[in-house]
């Protein structure tokens, strides 16, 4: 605990907070201790300051090019022995609210009536069936997604994979005015609480008992990824490399495009590899941080971590990741959430590396514009894997900007009779009351912005190439 460096005022704050938290019956002792520890670190100003002059670009030994990895073993018995050391863990704490959906985001239908979770299960089922392996699936839920997820996983009972769920911690939001927990001031519903970011995956694995159970089954590595990243599939070359080289931690990174300039990047710093996030960058260096020339790669949040190392570091309370303060307002009350990110843990593990992977391993669906990409002819779906259509010449995906009329999944689906062909599209902007017919083809740079009060219907089988459309007369 970092109480030694606290001012008298902060010591009082922490003492009052401890008393209040002790009275919260909804959470475990582990959660209470974890929360107080986090707040104590926050109050002591333990923020990690980066000295810009000490930052070095990582070498190929530290950020390994994917193409330099050894090929996967040919014999299926060797592949089976690799897979039997693996656990797949999907971060499943997020709700689909930003896309207008209720319940966990992982149950949004992505393609052909299949949800994120369906695709994940199909992928692992196929792996286990092909090699006779037993790769289990773990879902880390939050208190927001737990009940729904328990019901949803029932439908996979007959599959050939073990599915385990566990909850990440539940921490009380802090009221900014008096630094007391929101639930002890009358906010007894869900709004009084928050899940403290995916950095919590490591202590939660241990506290839930899952970590010890996996170690006793001979599991060695966990592949952690966001449930909405369709590119985060098991990669045998990566797994083989980590086992051969005894790397305790691996972060998949991929080359930045202009869309990723805010993403965290890997740096070499004082002899260790670590994640540098935009929040840690001094103001005068932000533009440099965003430059694709200087910082060429960013974190995909696909992480491979050695389970024994997780146990060692969590038990030693050594994972002191940078704290991300997240201020919010709930019912007119200003509150604070303190969070951590799993990628920031890289600097605490031995022989930690990055692997510079192809962009295909980063295909997140954060908004309906991403859904348009993955539901279109730009991708195909086979055995649960979403693969890019080789007919597209441009290695980059088209940029897509959809107006607020398309923000909710239900509205988005209603406005397209069928998803247009976009294999030859460079960019698309759609705004206003626009409706698409079936079999529409979009090519080049297309802008369809309906004038206010005008309903604009794109007819069936229309081919629109390098065109700006503002009304029916432009079609």
- Per-residue pLDDT at 368: 96
Mean pLDDT for the stretch of residues 117-145: 96
* Cα–Cα dist 152/161, whole Å: 15
In the chain, where the domains are located: 8-45+53-361, 368-474
Point out the least confidently predicted range of 22-31, 74-83, 118-127, 281-290.
Answer: 281-290
User: How many other CB atoms are there within 10 angstroms of residue 452's CB atom?
Assistant: 6
**170 is an annotated ligand-binding site residue:** no
**74 is an annotated ligand-binding site residue:** no
Tens-place pLDDT, residues 444-463: 999 999 999 999 999 999 99
**197 is an annotated ligand-binding site residue:** yes
**105 is an annotated ligand-binding site residue:** yes
* Cα–Cα dist 166/221, whole Å: 18
Contact of 86 with 206, CB cutoff 8 Å: no
pTM over 0.85: yes
The CATH number fitting domain 8-45+53-361, selected from 3.30.70.20, 3.90.550.10, 3.40.630.30, 3.40.50.300: 3.90.550.10
* Cα–Cα dist 188/430, whole Å: 42
**244 is an annotated ligand-binding site residue:** no
Tens-place pLDDT, residues 253-276: 999 987 788 889 999 998 899 999
- Domain 8-45+53-361 shares a fold with domain 368-474: no
Give, in words, the CATH class of 368-474: mainly beta
**168 is an annotated ligand-binding site residue:** yes
Mean pLDDT for the stretch of residues 48-69: 91
**Which residues, at least 6 apart from 314, have a Cβ–Cβ distance to it below 8 Å?**
202, 203, 205, 206, 211
pLDDT band at residue 472 under the 50/70/90 scheme = confident
Tens-place pLDDT, residues 205-237: 999 999 999 999 999 999 999 999 999 999 999
Measured in whole angstroms, the distance separating CA 112 from the mean position of its chain's CA atoms is 23
């Amino acid at each position: 605990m970092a109480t030694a460096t606290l001012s008298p005022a902060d010591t009082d704050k922490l003492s009052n907070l401890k008393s209040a938290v002790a009275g919260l019956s909804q959470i475990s002792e582990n959660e209470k201790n974890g929360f107080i520890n986090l707040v104590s670190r926050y109050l002591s100003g333990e923020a990690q300051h980066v000295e810009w002059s000490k930052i070095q670009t990582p070498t190929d030994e530290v950020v390994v090019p994917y193409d330099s990895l050894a090929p996967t073993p040919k014999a299926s018995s060797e592949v089976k022995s690799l897979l039997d050391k693996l656990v797949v863990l999907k971060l499943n704490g997020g709700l689909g609210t930003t896309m207008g959906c209720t319940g966990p985001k992982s149950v949004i239908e992505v393609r052909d009536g299949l949800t994120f979770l369906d695709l994940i299960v199909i992928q692992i089922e196929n792996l286990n069936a092909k090699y006779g392996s037993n790769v289990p699936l773990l879902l880390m839920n939050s208190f927001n997604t737990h009940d729904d997820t328990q019901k949803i996983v029932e439908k996979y009972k007959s599959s050939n994979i073990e599915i385990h769920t566990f909850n990440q911690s539940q921490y009380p939001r802090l009221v900014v005015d008096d630094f007391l927990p929101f639930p002890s001031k009358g906010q007894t519903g869900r709004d009084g609480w928050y899940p403290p970011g995916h950095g919590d995956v490591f202590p939660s694995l241990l506290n839930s008992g899952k970590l010890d159970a996996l170690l006793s089954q001979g599991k060695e590595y966990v592949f952690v990824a966001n449930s909405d990243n369709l590119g985060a599939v098991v990669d045998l070359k990566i797994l083989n490399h980590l086992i051969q080289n005894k790397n305790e931690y691996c972060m998949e990174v991929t080359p930045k495009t202009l869309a990723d300039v805010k993403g965290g990047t890997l740096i070499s710093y004082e002899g260790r590899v670590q994640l540098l996030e935009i929040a840690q960058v001094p103001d005068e260096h932000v533009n440099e941080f965003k430059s694709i020339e200087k910082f060429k790669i960013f974190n995909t949040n696909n992480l491979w971590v050695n389970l024994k190392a997780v146990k060692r570091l969590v038990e030693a309370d050594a994972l002191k990741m940078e704290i991300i303060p997240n201020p919010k307002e709930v019912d007119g009350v200003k509150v604070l959430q303190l969070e951590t990110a799993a990628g920031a843990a890289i600097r605490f593990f031995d022989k930690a590396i990055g692997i510079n992977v192809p962009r295909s391993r980063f295909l997140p669906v954060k908004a309906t514009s991403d859904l348009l990409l993955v539901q279109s002819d730009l991708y195909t779906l086979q055995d649960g894997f979403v693969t890019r259509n080789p007919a597209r010449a441009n290695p980059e995906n088209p940029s897509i900007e959809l107006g607020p009329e398309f923000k909710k999944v239900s509205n988005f689906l209603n406005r397209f009779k069928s998803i247009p062909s976009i294999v030859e599209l460079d960019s698309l902007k759609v705004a206003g009351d626009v409706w698409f017919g079936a079999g529409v083809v979009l090519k080049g740079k297309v802008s369809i912005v309906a004038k206010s009060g005008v309903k604009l219907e794109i007819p069936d089988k229309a081919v629109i190439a390098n065109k700006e459309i503002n009304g029916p007369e432009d079609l």
